[in-house]
Structure 1
Amino acid sequence: MSGSTDISVLYVNDGPELLQLVARRLEREDDRIGVRTAESVDAAEGVRSRHDVDCIMSDHHMPGRTGLEYLRSLRGNDDGIPFILFTETGDEAVASEAISADVTDYVIHRAIGDPSPLLARKVCSAVEHRRTKRRMDRTARQLRSVAEATNDALWIFSADWGELHFINSAYESVFGQPAAELRAEPRSFLDRVHHEDTDRVERAMARASSGEHVRIEYRVNKSTELQSWVESRCTPVTDDEGETDFISGFSREITDRKYYEASLVEKNEQLEQFASRVAHDLRNPLNVADGNVDLAREDDDGPYLETTARALARMDDLIDDLLTLAKRGATIDELSPIGFESLVRSSTENLLFPDSTLEIVGSGTIRCDPARTREALENLFRNALDHGGEAVTITVGVLEVRNGFYVEDDGPGIDPSDRETVFERGHTISEHGSGLGLAIVDRIVTAHGWEIEIAEGADGGARFEIVGPDLDPTEAADPKPAESGT
């Protein structure tokens, strides 16, 4: 037997001459096959104890144990090795018993002719089938181990939710129902859904059946005393005709997250009330001071009064930034599509560009909270104006490689050592800055689920890249300078 063969066959026959003839012919027929031989069942078992064997080919009538008895002993020990009964005796009773004993194939050895082509095909087919089954079983075990390693309930339903194809054991901890009950009645999980949420869940199921990706949060009654929140995500899988074949997804408990969100909303409301009160209390004396400075400057507009006026104006800006950060720093409203160029231009309405230029490169539609995104862009523009000088050029464009957009200026840029800290509250290198503008930008970006990165612009200025927006770009347009004063 060659050591380079891929398929090892054990041929059992009590006729030495026939044994060697069939073995040589089989190896010659297919160079993937290597044959080991044995003249009895006992000898065959000895060969298997010393060597790996992929397939057994055996005669039936042999001294001692027959080929059929050998097959039965193997199957009795749960040995599923491919077994081909290759015998000179065409006995229907033997063939019937061999089939009952789970023989892989039954071939009659004719007196005339070379059976090697037929045998080689049957051997290779049987071995490959077994190897494929083993690979599939191994993959299934691996997938099962992964499914059991998570706390999420993983599942696969038929397109109409009438059949359950797969469920892992985490289902019971999420829904408070044994997985066996779900297998018996696939839609029984609806019995655990809070009655006020059932209709909404069923509508979501219908949307998934029609091919829509669905994410839904709802309440589950684990018991008469315990209620929890669950999030489910459904992914419809279609067939070649585009019809939904089955629905896969997962369900996870999010009770802690819902409590945290509710607590966060309450804290934000308290913070907003506090910030509004503080802003009101601060603005009253600030307005008095500002008014008296204006009156004093009518008599003597000296440098000290000018410095005082600038300080009061800075305090007013600081109060505005603090109020914005407290009220809406980390929240966004409903997302909606808006044209990229329209969004950028509307973000300049509260700014003056007397000697500066705004260029827009590219176009498309972005899905966002328009008001909050305008606020972020406005703060980025204000940052460029504060640090780049009156004649700064600001370029806003669609990223070519990644999904997102950028804001770039030709000012002095941001030192690499400062890029990790510029989004921290209070960080500023401008004598007029509050240190909150970029912190607000960072919160708005994060609230959208996006990321913001700092790089060096083409002219050495600052470049802010906002990555992750749901931006559908169209063909890039030529740079368009904003009108003066926009």
Structure 2
Amino acid sequence: MAAGDIHVLHVDDDEAITDRAARELERDSEFHVTSSNSPTDTLARFDPAAYDCVVSDYEMPRIDGLELYDRLSLQFDRPDFPFILFVDLGSERIAADALNAGVTGYLRKGGQDQYDALAARIRSVTSNRPQRSDAADECARELFDNLPDPTVVLDVENGDSRIRRVNDAFERVFGYDSETAVGASVTELLVSPKRDTAATSLSTTLTNGADVCHEVRRQTADGEWRDFLFRNVHVERPDGGSLTYGVYTDITKRMDYDRCLTELHETARRLMAAESSDAVLDTGLAAARDILGHDINAIHLYDETAGGLVPTATTAATEALLDDIPTFTEDGESIAWNAYERGEVSVCPDVRDDPDVLNPETPLRSEMVLPLGERGVLLLSSTDVDAFDDADVSLGSVLAATIQSALQQVEREQALARQNERLDEFASIVSHDLRTPLDLASVHLELAVEGHDEEAHLERVEAAHDRMSRLIDDVLTWARDGEAVDATETVSLRSLVSGCWEALQTGDADLTVTTEYTVEADKERLRRVVENLLDDALTHAGDSPSVRVGDLDDGSGVFVEDDGPGIPEDERENVFDFGYTLSTSGTGFGLAIVHQIIEAHGWEIQVAESEAGGARFEIRC
């Protein structure tokens, strides 16, 4: 052919596509390409005498490729005017409609090979074209082979559907080659979990010629179960015959996602019903393993003492793989700590390529870090590279959010239980401890009014009022100091102890302080602890006690001890109970307040015996 003998009109709303097509086709001098980026303009200006062939996209604004063909065909000057669909993504429905409409060709866009195929197709349909019926058969075969979904041609008769032909996608997805598949019964080859009901019903529907669109589950040649959306397409041939196409669109990932989401909803109910943090963590790990399918996982919670994310719950697979499960700290850069600090999900396709990997020699290859708010992270890992996809991120985020909510609920319920316990204690104090001096004051006041030794009775009324005043002050302190510590500062115990000692009526007592310990604490509440312990020693250790404050031998905290009579061993478990006192003038709240403040800081306090036989209080902080 002479240069530019084949005149092609290319219609596509994407200018980059038309520009590339023109360049690729016109590299061969026999082509001359006119580009149009508007199908409506094409309709208004089309002249069939000016072109030998039309190439068109399918998905375009306002008018799709088949509608463009239908409307242009009214202007064609010959019945076999070539019209080729050149589309982004194949579709069995487009293919069927194209066959019915009489479109000459159907190709998918792609790389250089597809432009070469387009050029070859244009040459074929513009020179020595076969009769329309042959062209339709050729187009049908081309469409069938290029469909991206597994597709079969079926012979449907006598209640059975037998395979007449399969495309490449069918062989690839189901694992059966054409030789095995052709002639086989669909229900025999593609086994269904409910073979006797659903599969038979589907075959009956096909036999009756009805349109079908069903979600089905089928087994591949290697035994894998996959989910598909099955649709049939009936195509009437120009010769009066018909073909039945069966198209299987793989929806396994979508169905797996839906099943996982349903199971996570069930897990959420169990998580929100958990009565302890340990139960929440165990249930969360089991869900990550059993539902998300990742058995190497752990939950790391932030621990202020450790200064990092401590492995709090781990699966057996994690423990078997890793000899030492690390704590992730702010000082030691790590993928997990960075995700925790940002509060964002982090997916690392290959941890060995990440500059923040804690251990470059780790047997793990990929991981996903899901923050649990300020509490910590859920860490899912794999020995495979790039093991986590978008579905894992989505489902993992749902699980992490539920774990976080469940931990919050457990904390709220535990706080409510503590509050109720405190309310019960408060009610007991009001009903008993305050009632007794109040009743005494009332009796003595009545006797004084009656004129019986007025001065003595009024003194007892005053003493009762003093006791009630001390009780009220102690109750208020006890109520305030039971809350968790939020704000802290660095406190020198030596300085604090010395200041408290100066504020007390110490008399002939002496104090020895050997500690240089510093702690992060609520200074005012810690001051009450020291004051109460020192005051307890001054009250119970005799007229001129010796009080010592120093470091514990193992360096875990400090002690406060005296040389008084001490506390009997069988009484030591009770000294921190509210109302417990060995003094007739005491309220029984001093050591209860000490214990409460120590617990609010997350510390521990124990009673022991000093070297001199007196009381010794050991605080581990």
Tell me the TM-score normalized by structure 2.
Answer: 0.35
Tell me the TM-score normalized by structure 1.
Answer: 0.43
Larger-gyration structure (1/2): 2
More relative contact order in 1 or in 2 (CA 8 Å, sep 6+)? 1
